[in-house]
Structure 1
């Protein structure tokens, strides 16, 4: 049997959501294109998957550069002998930082939008172009609390994430009837990964057991979305730790 192919865009540290998604899909027998900006991190995730008996390749991609995204999808749709074109695409790129609105520069606002929203447009457009002729496939966008509401100091982040959510909704309505499952996952809470552990290690202890979102648990949900029968597709779901208020 030929091997299926998945693409995960926005992979960073091994103990992060992007890498967890790659490992999850590889464990299900997929060949995974591990895409992100930092070659060393991508190679580490690909090597970890290979050591566990899976199949993956690192693919350096700046999701804000149209030519990079097109090149990635060219590879995804022609992944090599014995492999099928990609039928699972995840856009997981994003950045987050608290900035006083009065101090927010035009350059900073645009950079948040380019990474969090414009990059999602490029990935979504290329996914639609490649998957619609095949009549199948799943495209999942990673959202956040900011997709739904803007908090003080996070206008730049919320604007980008809200825009990404609208891209997801528009794509779902346009391409769902053509066989493409488009979903948006709201990550409502802190993720227990390398980034948070480095920036605010005290948060881990303060939240206690299962007080943060587990990366492998999130990855399980993404896989479940991909495996849903088309008679009952999810367009949007939200995930949070049981201790998180909402």
Structure 2
């Protein structure tokens, strides 16, 4: 009799840039909780550096490179994971384009389209593959990272807001379709500035001064965000959260 391949549960974090960021913090948290982790990014050089750092810290971690706007590339990504004897137990879509303010009249069609492809279509493509991997076991968590712009379009953030709002709609649709089939789909609105390398290095270092101006606990700490994502993954099916908003206690809303 042919033996059935026993796949080991793992975590997949799509959208990992610097170690000090939400993506990096998620990788650390999932590894700390005992899951093998795959971090996915688009820059091979950066991902290799991150992989060396995480492995040196004792994490069961591997970096993978993929173009999340390309269905074939994402399919190959999940096939790589399966061929390694792993099955996604939790998948986080954390990918995004930089959302610097730009007057609407200066936003080109190409820029708007690329924002949509990365922030919205990429989430749809990743979610399709994640759900397909989880359905046979009728369990798993699929978490999308949203932003303030997921809920409202602000001046000079039109392209980003449209893309993030679309991602939120995808998350709701996936939740309604696959929640009854055992897959927990959640959307997390990060309403505030993340205290990570991306914000710190913005505008030639001005970002660092801006983070300092927010004061103690005035920004979203990546490790604290990661703790919440893990809590979402651990929720009992009788009390699943579909959408959650996180913001520093000083942030206006």
Q: For the residues of structure 2 that align with 1:222 and 1:38, how far apart are their CA atoms?
A: 24
The one of 169, 192, 196 aligned to 2:195:
192
Preserved CA contact (<8 Å) 2:7 2:87: no
The one of 223, 235, 240 aligned to 1:228:
235
Q: Point out where structure 2 has 5 or more consecutive residues left out of the alignment.
A: 1-5
Preserved CA contact (<8 Å) 1:4 1:29: no
Q: Point out where structure 1 has 5 or more consecutive residues left out of the alignment.
A: none
Preserved CA contact (<8 Å) 1:124 1:139: yes
Q: For the residues of structure 2 that align with 1:90 and 1:41, how far apart are their CA atoms?
A: 19
1:216 is matched with which residue? 223
Residue by residue over 1:111-161, the C-alpha shift from the partner in whole angstroms, topping out at 9 and shown as x without a partner, is 000000000010111112221122011000000000000000001000000
2:93 is matched with which residue? 91
Q: For the residues of structure 2 that align with 1:43 and 1:223, how far apart are their CA atoms?
A: 25
SS of alignment partner, residue 191 of structure 1: coil
TM-score (norm 2): 0.93
SS of alignment partner, residue 186 of structure 2: strand
Residue by residue over 1:195-224, the C-alpha shift from the partner in whole angstroms, topping out at 9 and shown as x without a partner, is 111111111221111111000000000011
2:39 is matched with which residue? 34
1:154 is matched with which residue? 157
Preserved CA contact (<8 Å) 2:120 2:166: yes
Q: For 1:77-226, what aligned pairs fall within 5 Å after superposition?
A: 77-80=82-85, 84-95=86-97, 96-199=99-202, 200-226=207-233
Please state how far the C-alpha of 1:226 moved relative to its aligned partner: 0.4
1:24 is matched with which residue? 29
Q: RMSD of aligned C-alpha atoms? A: 1.4
Please state how far the C-alpha of 1:2 moved relative to its aligned partner: 7.6
Q: For the residues of structure 1 that align with 2:142 and 2:83, how far apart are their CA atoms?
A: 18
Q: For the residues of structure 1 that align with 2:18 and 2:59, how far apart are their CA atoms?
A: 18
The one of 45, 50, 68 aligned to 1:45:
50
Q: For the residues of structure 2 that align with 1:176 and 1:225, how far apart are their CA atoms?
A: 14
Runs of 4+, deviation exceeding 3 Å? none
Preserved CA contact (<8 Å) 2:8 2:87: no
Q: For the residues of structure 1 that align with 2:82 and 2:225, how far apart are their CA atoms?
A: 26
Q: For the residues of structure 2 that align with 1:201 and 1:165, how far apart are their CA atoms?
A: 29
Q: For the residues of structure 2 that align with 1:178 and 1:27, how far apart are their CA atoms?
A: 28
Q: For the residues of structure 2 that align with 1:121 and 1:3, how far apart are their CA atoms?
A: 25
Preserved CA contact (<8 Å) 1:192 1:214: yes
